[in-house]
Chain A
């Protein structure tokens, strides 16, 4: 666990200066099993663990890597909060026994792969990474 944390920290140090800034809007994508669009409050609830089911489909949220421009933009534009607040929220929620935060993925490509292959998966990417055939649930 500690080794993993150190490795992630080192990776973050290496990657952050090279990370491509989020160039456009935020696009929330989902597995094709999720039919229709989602409104912003629903997306907020999915990424705060308050909603686990949409239209009868169990959802699994995935976040972008901690500190990534995409994640910061998503938090700001969709969740209307910063990383400190979001981390603090999940710290409390975890330690009142109400679950763990969404899994983190290192790149948009990983998020797209996971979302398209996992029923009920919901993630977000930069609009410049949107490819034809992706199930767009919300765009801002």
Chain B
């Protein structure tokens, strides 16, 4: 549900923060996690288990720059940034008994609840149980395999793309849920079929970009709303050799614990051809329909197909159906890519797209472009309210293509470089449009360079 890049990180009920001039660094963890965190060191503590704890780490030092002055995916603009892709993580895997294990993963990266912070978060804290070879049960805080690379998306060494396509990976909950999951494997000849399922809860920070200052109602800039998300899903994956095919369905309810939010904006006619959308209860009109939650159904299909001559096709498609709201991310998205391996060098091409359904795009365009003439009393405020309302509509209409390559100088590292051109059409999507302006029908050229490693 995060409009920007990366995965939303739930769980900040208890936050320790230390301010450094110009920068804040904080360690956050949810109250519900403290129990799990308390348990894991206890489980590691016995000397009988000490030899079975394996500690590893991963990281990315990534620089990205675009040719535009406005922000894209939160941090990318023409001044360049390390914040979009850089991160560092540590993971401890403990084999407690033969069939029980525990995993703890910490990650330091740009915060998902603030554009200014760099935050250390507990990404995973779960115990696992394998009663037989074919069953895996897990409980705790974990990331579920919604997408092909959901679980390993922070570990750049595990894929060749400089950045997993935002059109696919930056929207639906890649959050780490606190809950339960299972996986069951079947061997079918040389193939392996896996059914996995999960249920869990997460706190997900959703980022809105407000273009305009409207004193005293709102300040321009990023605004984060925290949603309580409860989700469950089922996935089926078939692996044959080096090829993988998968399908996944999730149902999620996203609730705003702090109150309600608009589900649509009704049009208020003033006289023929002139009117406004009631984007605020303070504007005269029939009232703004409100809801306290949305129901989302997510259907995903994916394939990673080995091709002749060292080539690979990787593609995923997602359809997100949002109920109870006409301003939510009701979208279709996906990507197709072709990769060719030459030893340690793997060039690739990716095409990705993300588009809201016609109703959402039309509502966005109508609200964003609507103005009332200046002779109408309060016209300036009404027109600002139209733009503010448009900023609250989660609408996407963009595609991108990227040409890049990864190079593995060593077994556990990858250097990646990519040129991407994103084409923004009617809706801004991942763009932080400038105050008083719009970004549409515009290209953004993005160059990315990163060093990715595990140890």
Contact = CB atoms under 8 A, between A and B. Distances in A.
B256 to A, nearest CB: 30
Contacts of A51: 133
Contacts of B193: none
B133 A95 contact: no
A52 B412 CA distance: 26
Contacts of A95: 58, 91, 151-152, 154-155, 158, 454
B138 A97 contact: yes
B101 A92 contact: no
B133 A53 contact: yes
A99 B133 CA distance: 13
B98 A58 contact: yes
Given A52-B99, A100-B56, A91 B155 contact: yes
A84 interface: yes
A30 interface: no
A96 B151 contact: yes
Interface string A60-98: 100000000000000000000001100110011011111
B54 A92 contact: no
Interface residues of B, number: 36
A91 B158 contact: yes
Contact of B133 (A1, A50, A98, A103): A50
Contacts of A96: 145, 151-152
A87 B152 contact: no
* Interface hub of A45, A87, A92 (most chain B Cβ within 10 A): A92
Nearest to A84: B411
Interface stretch (B124-132, B261-269, B432-440): B124-132
Given A50-B185, A52-B130, A53-B133, A99 B101 contact: yes
A120 interface: yes
Interface in B12-59: 51-52, 54-58
Contacts of B98: 52-53, 58-60, 120
B421 to A, nearest CB: 29
A5 interface: yes
Interface in B123-170: 124, 126, 128, 130, 132-133, 136, 138, 142-143, 145, 151-152, 154-155, 157-158
A92 B128 CA distance: 17
Interface string A28-68: 00000000000000000100001111000011100000000
A100 B99 CA distance: 13
A45 B130 CA distance: 15
Nearest to A2: B455
A79 to B, nearest CB: 14
B78 interface: no
A1 B103 CA distance: 18
Contacts of A5: 455
Nearest to A101: B54
16 contacts: A50-B133, A52-B98, A52-B130, A53-B98, A88-B411, A91-B157, A91-B412, A94-B93, A95-B155, A95-B158, A95-B454, A97-B124, A99-B95, A99-B101, A100-B54, A120-B98
